Chains A and B, each alone.
Chain A
Amino acid sequence: MSNPEPAVTLGNLRVAFGKVQVVDGVDLTVERGQAMALIGESGSGKSVTLRAILRLFHEGRSRIEGTILAAGRDVQALSKRQLADFRGGDVSMIFQEPLLAFDPVYTVGQQITEAIHRHEKISKDDARKRALALFERVRIPSPERRLDNYPHEMSGGMRQRAMIALALACRPQVLLADEPTTALDATVQIQVLLLLRELQRDLGLSIIIVTHDLGAAVEVADRIAVMYAGKIVETGTAHQVVLDPHHPYTIGLLRSRAEGALAKGSRLQTIPGSPPDLANRPPGCPFAPRCFLAEEQCRREMPPVAEIAPGHKVACWRTDEAAAAYRAGPTPVRAAELVPA
């Protein structure tokens, strides 16, 4: 690699809304050309982490601390003006609901050429040509005609592709994707996931995708980071995290999937209880109250991040026991069931 500098580096990122610490010390590195998936359940802070990279929050109501380096820029130091150029220029984002990203009164083509004009001095014809090429790139059928469609005239999957085209309009280095396939049908979801993979490969794009679906994460990501209560509890290659998990929460997520059931009608392994109240964070490991391996130390002290294999980091006091329990088969569940989620 000619440029060894990572595409995105988050150092001890903390984001709070009022008294609620939603992201609580996230360290994350995404190399150039790499696809990273942030997975976790609602309230884990995965979406907020992603949005922090573009500082997409109301300034008065949020507090962002820590370092954010993306596409070679120090995001925290950017002025309002620089930030506007940075968003959509160096780093762009796609969302779950494409209708929110588009203005309903302009055609999709107009909005893409407009986005190109905002960042570059380029003739109208060239901008239109670029838009057309983008539409071909994201595999929209009869692209010439589709450029003149209004957003509502497109089907869900096509709108998602059009939004990806819009996001790529200014040749960003990093693409952030927030639950990009959650609202889509299964047969469309896989097409969009494959498209993201293709863009990563062909354009050398760095991608961070946020999803609650482990399956979607495995399909696109080289590396996976699992978030719980505002912290990253496990990171590693997709292979390491999914096939050799070392954190009890990751294990719980894998085991609670319906396809992991031993036989039809057998019960699913569940994670008892529900996520902690972020406004009243307990001391120690946030997962301890729901963990089948928790002991006194877990409830007292936050475990340090340990690198258990090259590139595989886990924040848990009992990684060995956890990994052994996963390999041994069905996990014992702790006796005290908490209030169901």
Chain B
Amino acid sequence: MTAPITAASMALDGGVLSAGDTAPEAAFVPSRGFWGHVGHRLVRDPVAMGAGALILLVVLIAILAPWITPMDPYKGSMLRRLKHVGDATYWLGSDELGRDMISRLMLGARLSLFIGVTPVLIAFVIGSAIGILAGYVGGWLNTILMRTIDVFFAFPSVLLAIALSGALGAGIFNSIVSLTCVFVPQIARVAESVTTGIRKRDYIDAAKLSGASPLTIMRVQVLGNVVGPIFVYATSLISVSMILASGLSFLGLGVRPPEPEWGLMLNTLRTAIYANPVVAALPGVCIFIVSIAFNLFSDGLRAAMEIRQ
């Protein structure tokens, strides 16, 4: 070892290591960055990965549906109605108009996903904007925005969606609008509470002390920290959205026949529930599995984003 030196002389070089004294380089692990950490932990979560793979598969099927459906999903045959699952031609049976179930379920994934995911995405943008603004500005603006949002919470989301859809009339566009209206308040409320929490952190005070403008602080210091948790919450709403969207279609307020959509298919197959219960339940099974997958993935994402010091 080199000769001992005093504490004072050592501190004068500020504890910076000269080449000879450096701890072994093996100890140096390059930083992964925040999202690197999240990704690293997410791939180690088998449940979230499984759910993610399932979602990816469904999305792929939805995108490629027009090219890969084994039969024409619109072409029916009165002679081949309500075939059972396992039929030689219709692997998953046929519906009440004799259309191939598997083709319709594949094509139905398109609309179901579309009207399930789109409202959440739009609501994520609008709700985050409202919530972050209310949370960051605070004061009377917060009071006005959040009390207005509370009004929406007086109604159960199912009722609200049905009421809005009913008022706007049936159709894909209208059901997306009404579902967006259902989710905006929920996301805004979460965004507000997350932002209020962040606003009280010391690093926001430190940023203020450095002379940054409120807009800069919002952009650089707040946004990155609130978007993650809000996004996680939003992904957990996709399952709700899919179920509500299917519900609207089931009630005849959403997609109109003959377009295949899981909720609507559930409705039209309702009449066949005694004749062929398994086939009648298939769209429901799809809704169930996909929404569970979204939920599990969202849970995994939340866990992966919880980084402790």
Contact = CB atoms under 8 A, between A and B. Distances in A.
Judge A-B direct contact (beta carbons within 8 Å): yes
Interface of A: 267, 269-270, 272, 292, 332-340
Given A336-B2, A337-B15, A340-B15, A269 B7 contact: yes
B6 interface: yes
A267 B3 contact: no
A336 B21 contact: yes
Contacts of B6: 332-333
B5 A267 contact: no
B9 to A, nearest CB: 10
A267 B4 contact: no
18 contacts: A267-B11, A270-B7, A332-B4, A333-B4, A333-B5, A335-B1, A335-B2, A335-B3, A335-B4, A335-B21, A336-B1, A336-B2, A337-B15, A338-B23, A339-B15, A339-B17, A339-B23, A340-B15
A272 B11 CA distance: 10
B60 interface: no
Given A270-B7, A292-B4, A332-B6, A337 B23 contact: no
Contact of B5 (A269, A270, A335): A335
Contact of A337 (B1, B3, B8, B10): B10
Main secondary structure on B side of the interface with A: loop
B10 A335 contact: yes
Nearest to A335: B2
Interface residues of B, number: 14
Nearest to B2: A335
Interface of B: 1-8, 10-11, 15, 17, 21, 23
Contacts of B7: 267, 269-270, 333
A259 B21 CA distance: 31
A332 B4 CA distance: 7
Main secondary structure on A side of the interface with B: loop
A340 B8 CA distance: 15
A255 to B, nearest CB: 10
B54 to A, nearest CB: 29
Contacts of A270: 7
A272 B2 CA distance: 15
Contacts of B1: 334-336
Contacts of B11: 267
A267 B6 CA distance: 11
Nearest to B4: A332
Contacts of B5: 333, 335
A335 B7 CA distance: 9
B188 to A, nearest CB: 30
Given A332-B4, A333-B4, A339-B15, 14 more contacts: A267-B8, A267-B11, A270-B7, A333-B5, A333-B6, A334-B4, A335-B3, A336-B1, A337-B10, A337-B15, A337-B17, A339-B17, A339-B23, A340-B15
Given A292-B4, A340-B15, A333 B23 contact: no
A185 B3 CA distance: 44
Contacts of B2: 335-336
A211 B11 CA distance: 29
A332 B1 CA distance: 14
A335 B6 CA distance: 8
B49 to A, nearest CB: 21
A335 B4 CA distance: 5
A299 to B, nearest CB: 11
Contacts of A333: 4-7, 10
A108 B175 CA distance: 54
A270 B7 CA distance: 8
B2 to A, nearest CB: 4
A269 B7 CA distance: 7
Contacts of A292: 4
B154 to A, nearest CB: 28
A336 B11 CA distance: 11
Contacts of B15: 337, 339-340
B147 to A, nearest CB: 28
A335 B1 CA distance: 8
A69 to B, nearest CB: 35
Interface centre among A267, A333, A337, A340 (most CB of B within 10 A): A337
B309 to A, nearest CB: 12
Contacts of B8: 267
B179 to A, nearest CB: 39
Contacts of A332: 4, 6
A272 B1 CA distance: 15
Contacts of A336: 1-2, 21
Contacts of B23: 338-339
A185 B44 CA distance: 44
B16 to A, nearest CB: 9
Nearest to A332: B4
Nearest to B26: A280
Q: Which 5 A-B pairs have the closest CB atoms?
A: A332-B4, A335-B2, A336-B21, A333-B7, A340-B15
Contacts of A334: 1, 4
Nearest to B1: A335
A267 B7 CA distance: 8
Contacts of B21: 335-337
A87 to B, nearest CB: 28
Nearest to B16: A337
Contacts of A335: 1-5, 10, 21
A334 B4 CA distance: 5
